Homo-oligomer: A and B are copies of this chain.
Amino acid sequence: MVNQAESILKSSALSITSSRKKIIDVFLSASTALAHQDIEKLADQYDRVTIYRTLQTFLERGIIHTIPTTDNTIKYALCSDDCISSGHHHDNHVHFLCDQCGRTLCLDDVMIPAITLPKGYSMKAINMVVNGICKLCRA
């Protein structure tokens, strides 16, 4: 039984350091996408700068991805296995941003429908974000 964080780092050919493991663990145990600030709080033994640099590295390697939100914040989430494997990032599920609790959730079961672009445009990635009230806030 190998540590999951370590195995993620290994498959991206990154050296295994305690800050990187910690930040991956934070993502693994989070149920939602996280803002830089959230990560700072949850991994507060590490320098803010290290977190910036680590997130940057993870983005480049496709370990995490950003979720575009209308509320002027940037949220990060772990990529699912199949989106790391291909080398090319593609996240094909819908994201949900709750206007009440502010959480960003991956709706893994809701696929993004196909669309047709006008002539001359090529598509590399597609994102779909729904704003509203989530299950928990509504209850």
Contact = CB atoms under 8 A, between A and B. Distances in A.
Given A66-B70, A72-B74, A132 B121 contact: yes
A131 interface: yes
A65 B72 CA distance: 11
A121 B109 CA distance: 13
A139 B120 CA distance: 8
Interface string A64-80: 01111110101000000
Nearest to A119: B135
Nearest to A74: B72
Interface string A106-139: 0101101101111111111111111111110011
Contacts of A66: 70, 72
B115 A134 contact: no
B135 A126 contact: no
A50 B116 CA distance: 40
Contact of A134 (B65, B68, B121): B121
A127 B94 contact: no
B128 A115 contact: yes
Given A66-B70, A74-B72, A113-B113, A125 B130 contact: yes
Interface of A: 65-70, 72, 74, 94, 96, 99, 107, 109-110, 112-113, 115-135, 138-139
